[in-house]
A = this chain, B = another copy of it.
């Protein structure tokens, strides 16, 4: 049925998170209530909701008490909420405000301290919460669930590996398509399409394809620029498997590279190597960022590396830890992170190389395996 005549690869072998996984997570979170001084927790961040219950809808509020849990959502998700969330979750369908609906169930009665994530609640929502929960005290506990979610379990690692493998395959499929006369947006369409055909749920973010001088924009959108001989071509792409996303960047050259970019490529690669060497459980995220940043600074390009070195990946494409000069995070065994140094020369172009790694006690394992050598097509 497809233009290529190939059916989407079956997802049967893909990791499937079971009720047991969710039950274990829920228990861990509930048993930390006392430590945080709360009796219940309001979960509003979509990735936290998915992490704890499996629910993927766009509108949901999870109310956790120490021994029970309610998912409040609207009528559109009646069937889906029941289907996706584990059995112990009571699903309540409401019209209008979710927090008002939750209060109407009586489930929040007699609670004196309720935790919530102040970085996932707008000021307007907060005022609604204050109004309808006037007798309880609301306690900000941002990062509470992320603290568990940032350390990846075996099934999560399996999903991340599968997502990385699909992105690797698509990069390999893409190289023969990088030719003069092709537009950036042609390549972006192929990325999205081919990741899905290999079984991904979706892109983990809108793929970036930049060519020529546009590679100097770290986050360029794929435009209608046509590739020419001599161009640098930068792809930044990722896909989602069972909720978990990959994130990989390669910069290749169509014909002979500009000598400045050839030089820069070598520096970026050395910077990435230095960072990969520095990764292990217990090191500060800042030190890993510094390992790469120093290589770039010594070569005289400090001002041309204007972003952080990397970030956690998982249910969100950017999650904790943050690898940046100002980061206060420490790497832990089980973190899945990106390592993505780049150098951008306005007017000329840029180079970024990004891989995903899994942190363990003695170092890290690469999840992405596309070649990192300079490729001249």
Q: Which residues in A have some Cβ–Cβ distance to B below 8 Å? A: 1-4, 7-8, 10-11, 56-58, 74-80, 83, 93, 95-96, 118-124, 126-127, 140, 142, 177, 179, 182-183, 185-186, 188-190, 192-193, 196-197, 201-202, 206, 216-221, 224, 306-307, 325-326, 344, 346
Query: Which residue of the partner chain, among B78, B95, B96, B124, contacts A142 with CB atoms under 8 Å?
Result: B124
Contacts of A124 in B (CB 8 A): 118-119, 140, 142
Structural contact, B306 and A75, CB atoms closer than 8 A? yes
Interface of A is mostly: loop
**A2 / chain B contacts, CB cutoff of 8 Å:** 3, 186, 189-190
| Residue contact B122 to A307, C-beta cutoff 8 Å | no
Task: Given the known inter-chain contacts A93-B306, A189-B193, please indicate yes or no for A218 contacting B326, CB distance below 8 A.
Answer: no
Chain B min CB distance to A183 (Å): 6
> Are B219 and A80 interface neighbours, CB within 8 A?
yes
CA distance A140 to B179 in the complex (A): 51
Q: Which residue of B lies closest to A11 (CB)?
A: B224
Question: Once the chains bind, are A1 and B179 in contact (CB under 8 Å)?
Answer: yes
Which of B140, B182, B344 makes the CB contact (< 8 A) with A1? B182
Contacts of A76 in B (CB 8 A): 217-219, 306-307
In Å, the complex CA distance between A346 and B77 comes to 12
| A307 and B74 contact, CB distance less than 8 A | yes
Which residues on B sit within 8 Å (CB–CB) of A119?
122-124
A117 to chain B, nearest CB (A): 9
In the complex, what residues of B have CB within 8 A of residue A118's CB? Answer: 122-124, 127
Residues from chain B with Cβ under 8 Å of A182 in the complex? 1, 7
How far does the alpha carbon of A95 sit from the alpha carbon of B197 in the complex, in Å?
A: 39
Per the bound structure, the CA–CA distance linking A171 and B123 in Å amounts to: 40
A-B contact pairs, 28 of them (CB 8 A): A2-B189, A3-B4, A7-B186, A8-B224, A11-B224, A57-B219, A58-B219, A75-B218, A75-B307, A76-B217, A76-B307, A77-B217, A77-B219, A79-B346, A80-B217, A80-B219, A95-B325, A96-B326, A118-B122, A118-B124, A119-B122, A119-B124, A121-B122, A123-B140, A124-B142, A188-B196, A189-B196, A192-B196
